[in-house]
Structure 1
Amino acid sequence: MVDISTNAPAQRKKGGASMRTRLPPPRRLLLRLASVAGLVLLWQAASTYRLSLGLVTFANTPPPSEVFEAALALAHSSKLLPHLGSSLMRVFGGYLVACGLGILLGLAIGRTKWAEDVLLPPLELIRPIPAVAWIPLAILMFPSAEASMIFITFTGAVFPILLNTIHGVEGIDHRLIASARSLGAGRGAILREVIVPGALPSIVTGLAIGMGTAWFCLVTAEMISGQFGIGYYTWEAYTLQNYADIVVGMLIIGALGMASSALVRKIGAWAMPWHAVKGRV
């Protein structure tokens, strides 16, 4: 019989490098709020005293107080809801198409050499092209500016989803597949019961990253044409040199991207009750 008590210190020592102590939820929330507050205070001090740090200067950077006033003005205006509605429709429209296509192509490429040889080379050729480079072609390819903007957000989201799906499928232990075949499972059953559940953690990671990159491409998408949208609002503020409004638009995009990525991770955790993140206690 193994004495668990005598092995416990050794186990803790062995895994101590990767284990993190989990604080109680109230203390974690306070710590996170304090980190944000500290960043805002540093920003306020740097803008107020017009700090210059060599390559970076805060001489013309609007302080948080001005950004807060600009945010209040936007919140009380009639523009906020149309901007939010347009951006959400464009981001989630492109993202949902990217989810379906990225996961399907990733499963096919990860499972068959034929699909890998035929589909992966052109996709890898297209992947490094930045979203802004697609603007002229998007205008030519799609009949409406709205479809063009959805396409730009799609290009930002699809490749993280695709590559993480491929890596998730390729990382599945082949002994699991062989065991399922020995028990009489067909190709469809292996896909449903082994491949998809095994690749799901990696797929969810790709979905969260893809959501973030979709928001990242939003400003580029709404440069095409625009009357509404948070990205258009940010770009318009830049052209008019309303610096506080630029920061407001950036913060809104960041907050929406963070919240939507967190939502994707929560849904993924709900869909994978068997999967626990390593290194957390």
Structure 2
Amino acid sequence: MTAYVTGGARAQVADDVAAAIPTPGLVTTRRSASPWRWWLLRLASVAAAIGLWQVLTAGKVRLLLRFDTLPTVTQIVNALQRRLGTYEYWLDLAQSLLRILSGFGLAAVVGVATGVLLARSRLFANTFGPLTELARPIPAIAMVPVAILLFPTDEAGIVFITFLAAYFPIMVSTRHAVRALPTLWEDSVRTLGGGRWDVLTQVVLPGILPGVFGGLSVGMGVAWICVISAEMISGRLGVGYRTWQDYTVLSYPQVFVGIITIGVLGFATAAAVELVGRRVTRWLPRAQEGSK
């Protein structure tokens, strides 16, 4: 009798669990419909902000903030159309992209390598770790005078500033990701006869990918802040340099063209990092659920 009751209870529990789990068709329908709603909401929020900007600036509203001193949306659009037809605009854009990709790419390689070494090697952590902790609180833009004195060209100095800005977020994220790995994974590889290289390639590098791409995303944003600031201070070309030059001659619509360009470039590069991160970490359970 006991066995019969136990079996019936187990069957009842199984039925309850099955009823609580939504069917795949319903899940797919909900997930396929929701992205369109979110995209419409995003576009609506941007359109509302642009419309509010036009109303406040065209109406020359002064309500705590002086919107009457700012250019209208139509003035900015006209300035953008004129700027898009010039050779200097595309040259500045290419120069800023070259600087950001050079500095960020170097920071990604060095940051991941040193982050792994700081977490895995006690000798390296005690030798190099104190230097990183002393240098990490210093803002990268504060190193502009040092870069001007250290490097023979302004171009190399700006790339160096960009590298410093992106390096520390990437290094710290990688170090924390390595330290957060379960020791059981490493023990399992070693039990099966694996060595240090096997642990690194089969446990450490795959396991830290989510944390690494989090650091890369943060590093890209900080790198853009510093490269634009460095271009304004010591650059001869670039979006930041051109934006500052427009400000000095009081060409405010052109200033906002530069600001919009910086925002679009930052959004595009950050989205590229996020896309690569999702592609590389497809094996994660959460990523597999999101792709269904």
Q: TM-score, normalised by structure 2?
A: 0.85
- Residue matched to 1:236: 245
Q: CA deviation at 1:200?
A: 0.5
Q: What's the CA shift string for 1:192-225, capped at 9, x where partnerless?
A: 0001111010001111221122111122221343
- Residue matched to 2:203: 194
- Residue matched to 1:134: 143
Please list, as runs of the form range in 1=range in 2, the aligned pairs for 1:69-80 lying within 5 A after superposition: 69-80=78-89
Is it true that 1:81 corresponds to 2:73 in the alignment? no
**Aligned equivalent of 1:125, options 129, 134, 139:** 134
Q: CA deviation at 1:22?
A: 7.0
- Residue matched to 2:55: 45
Q: CA deviation at 1:117?
A: 2.7
- Residue matched to 1:106: 115
**Aligned equivalent of 2:37, options 19, 22, 27:** 27
Structure 1 window deviating more from structure 2 (29-38 vs 82-91): it is 29-38
Q: What's the CA shift string for 1:205-259, capped at 9, x where partnerless?
A: 1112211221111222213433321111111112222111121111111111111
Q: CA deviation at 1:63?
A: 1.9
Find the aligned partners of 2:115 and 2:63 in 1 and give their Cα distance: 45
Structure 1 unaligned segments of length 5 or more: list them.
Answer: 13-19
Q: Count matched residues.
A: 273
Structure 2 unaligned segments of length 5 or more: list them.
Answer: 1-9, 23-29
Q: CA deviation at 1:49?
A: 2.9
**Do the aligned partners of 2:161 and 2:226 also contact (CA within 8 Å) in 1?**
yes
Find the aligned partners of 2:137 and 2:257 in 1 and give their Cα distance: 29
Is it true that 1:149 corresponds to 2:149 in the alignment? no
Find the aligned partners of 1:11 and 1:243 in 2 and give their Cα distance: 57
Asked which structure has the greater RCO (Cα within 8 Å, sep 6+), the reply is 1
Find the aligned partners of 2:184 and 2:289 in 1 and give their Cα distance: 26
**Do the aligned partners of 1:204 and 1:268 also contact (CA within 8 Å) in 2?**
yes
Find the aligned partners of 2:72 and 2:214 in 1 and give their Cα distance: 35
| Partner AA of 1:72 in structure 2 | Q
Seen in structure 2, the aligned counterparts of structure 1 residues 48 and 111 have a Cα distance that, compared at 3 Å, is same
Q: CA deviation at 1:155?
A: 1.3
Find the aligned partners of 1:219 and 1:246 in 2 and give their Cα distance: 13
Q: TM-score, normalised by structure 1?
A: 0.89
Find the aligned partners of 2:147 and 2:190 in 1 and give their Cα distance: 45
Cα RMSD, aligned residues only: 2.4
Structure 1 window deviating more from structure 2 (141-150 vs 42-51): it is 42-51
- Residue matched to 1:15: none
Q: What's the CA shift string for 1:67-123, capped at 9, x where partnerless?
A: 111111110112121111111111101011101110001001122333233222221
**Do the aligned partners of 1:145 and 1:224 also contact (CA within 8 Å) in 2?**
no
Q: CA deviation at 1:270?
A: 1.4
Q: What's the CA shift string for 1:3-41, capped at 9, x where partnerless?
A: 3552478789xxxxxxx9774443333222111111111
Seen in structure 2, the aligned counterparts of structure 1 residues 278 and 59 have a Cα distance that, compared at 3 Å, is farther
Seen in structure 2, the aligned counterparts of structure 1 residues 122 and 4 have a Cα distance that, compared at 3 Å, is farther
| Partner AA of 1:29 in structure 2 | W
- Residue matched to 1:17: none
- Which one has a bigger Cα radius of gyration? 2
**Do the aligned partners of 2:118 and 2:175 also contact (CA within 8 Å) in 1?**
yes
Seen in structure 2, the aligned counterparts of structure 1 residues 4 and 157 have a Cα distance that, compared at 3 Å, is farther
Q: CA deviation at 1:125?
A: 1.9
Q: Percent identity?
A: 37
| Partner AA of 2:200 in structure 1 | L
Q: What's the CA shift string for 1:109-166, capped at 9, x where partnerless?
A: 1223332332222212212222331111100110111101111111111111111111
- Residue matched to 1:92: 101
Find the aligned partners of 1:60 and 1:6 in 2 and give their Cα distance: 65
**Aligned equivalent of 1:158, options 167, 172, 176:** 167
Considering fraction of residues, name the structure with more helix.
2
Q: Which SS does the other structure have where 2:208 is aligned?
A: helix
Structure 1 window deviating more from structure 2 (189-198 vs 59-68): it is 59-68
- Residue matched to 1:258: 267
**Do the aligned partners of 1:219 and 1:234 also contact (CA within 8 Å) in 2?**
no
Find the aligned partners of 2:165 and 2:253 in 1 and give their Cα distance: 27
